Amino acid sequence: MRRALWIVFLAMWFVCMPRLASAQTCTAVASNLNFGQVSPVAGTTASASSTITINCTGMSALPVRACVNIGTGSGGSTYLPRIALNGTSQLQYNLYTASGGSTVWGSRGSTTYQPIAIDVNENGLSGSGSATLTVYGRVPASQTALVAGPYASTFAGALQAELDYQAYLLIAPACASLTSPSSTFSFTVSANVINDCTIASTNINFGTAGVLNSTLTATGTLTVACTKNDAYSIALSSGAGSGATVADRAMTRSGGSDKVHYQLYQNASYSLPWGDGTNGTTALAGTGTGSSQSITVYARVLPQTTPQAGTYIDTVIATITY
């Protein structure tokens, strides 16, 4: 009877034991992360994402702890920020573990920024399993020193794009202790910095005048921010006055049709009428610095027949071409 019980116990023990771990082999495949078009002057953060898929074969019933290491990339040697290059021009960006951008994805080669761990479980009794992680990327806004062009950083090889893994029974191993077995993968982070401009304006106010028997002057300001080294030009329209041209603009009395003629200029000596290149006027030419540039608009009302009293206004459109 004792022998029978012993035999049953052994049989149960063998049935309940997990299958002995065979030699697992895990690999990772990553898609490239492309931020697309990035404006250095728009004041907005660019975001993108990619995936890393882990595939394991030769598995037993034991889970496999997989640690995904992402280094600094070929563009630089820092994690905060990471750098993508276009020649010597540096685009700052970073890679995160979640869409909120709170945790930088790192590598066991860093004491500050750690790799990401995930468990890969066997799919049924197939001896294989897979898991997918999402990589979240962000480009901070307003990097004014950037020039237009393609930027890239590649990740490949040990610690830069490395997968470390190990099957375990009860306690998952820490990523810091996993160095072998390992495999490497590769991917590229890229962005295309574009020529872009923003423009804003302040109004021009000639103040209050009685008889128009002397010259009135006033100024306004255009604030322009264009990509560094980006050539641009700014044209001013003829305005909304009936019959007005870029060579002879007119403010119209509110609620009426009376007019006060005036002109806009590029310089304080009033020798360069500012228009669109027609009727003896020119558009203003400039080159972007990446930062805001203040451009003064000089305005002048010459002596003329004084129209009916009232408030005179005009609307001029500034068009920037780059």
Question: Which of 80-84, 175-179, 298-302 is least confident?
Answer: 175-179
DSSP 253-268: ETTS--EEEEEEESST
Residues 139-153 have a mean pLDDT of 97
Residue 14 predicted with pLDDT over 90: no
Each residue's pLDDT tens digit, 100-141: 999 999 999 999 999 999 999 999 999 999 999 999 999 999
Q: Is the pLDDT of residue 17 over 60?
A: no
As a whole number of angstroms, the distance between CA 5 and CA 44 comes to: 74
- Cα→Cα distances 294→79, 123, 225, Å: 36, 64, 9
The pLDDT, as a whole number, for residue 23 is 73
Residue type, position 221, single letter:
T
- Could you give phi then psi for residue 3, rounded to 5 degrees? -65, -40
User: If you average pLDDT over residues 216-222, what whole number do you get?
Assistant: 98
Single-letter residue type at 65: R
Terminal CA-CA length for the chain: 96
Look at residue 149 and tell me whether its pLDDT is greater than 90: yes
- In this predicted structure, the answer to whether residue 281 has a pLDDT above a threshold of 50 is yes
- Residue 30 reports pLDDT greater than 80: yes
The pLDDT of residue 135: 98
Q: Report the 3 state secondary structure along 73-108.
A: CCCCCCCCCEEEEECCEEEEEEEECCCCCCCECCCC
Tell me how far apart the alpha carbons of residues 181 and 185 are, in angstroms, rounded to a whole number.
14
pLDDT digits (tens, 9 = 90+) for 153-184: 999 999 999 999 999 999 999 999 999 999 99
pLDDT at 95 over 60: yes
Beta carbons of 154 and 83 less than 8 angstroms apart: no
> Whole-model pTM?
0.86
State the pLDDT confidence band at 12, using cuts at 50, 70 and 90: very low
* Mean pLDDT (whole number) for 301-318: 98
In the chain, the largest separation of any two C-alpha atoms, in whole Å, equals: 129
Number of other residues whose CB lies within 10 A of the CB of residue 273 = 19
CA–CA dist 91, 140 (Å, integer): 9
Q: How far is Cα of residue 208 from the mean position of the Cα atoms in its chain?
A: 47
**Rounded mean pLDDT, 182-205:** 98
Structure tokens at 125: 């009794």
What the block records as the tokens of 215 is 């010259």
Whole-angstrom distance, CA of residue 85 vs CA of residue 287: 23
Asked if residue 280 lies in contact with residue 318, where contact means CB atoms within 8 angstroms, the answer is: no
How many CB atoms within 10 Å of residue 11? Answer: 10
d(CA 277, CA 7): 102
What is the pLDDT, as a whole number, of residue 4? 38
List, edge to edge, every strand of the sheet that includes 82-86: 25-30, 46-57, 128-139, 89-96, 82-86, 149-156, 186-193, 33-38
Chain mean pLDDT for the chain: 93
The confidence score (pLDDT) of residue 21 equals 42
Domains, the chain, with CATH or none: 21-193 (2.60.40), 197-321 (2.60.40.1090)
Residue in the structure block whose two tokens are 């008889």: 211
Structure-token pair, residue 130: 């897979």
The pLDDT of residue 20? 40
Instruction: Give the span between the Cα atoms of 70 and 79, in whole angstroms.
Output: 10
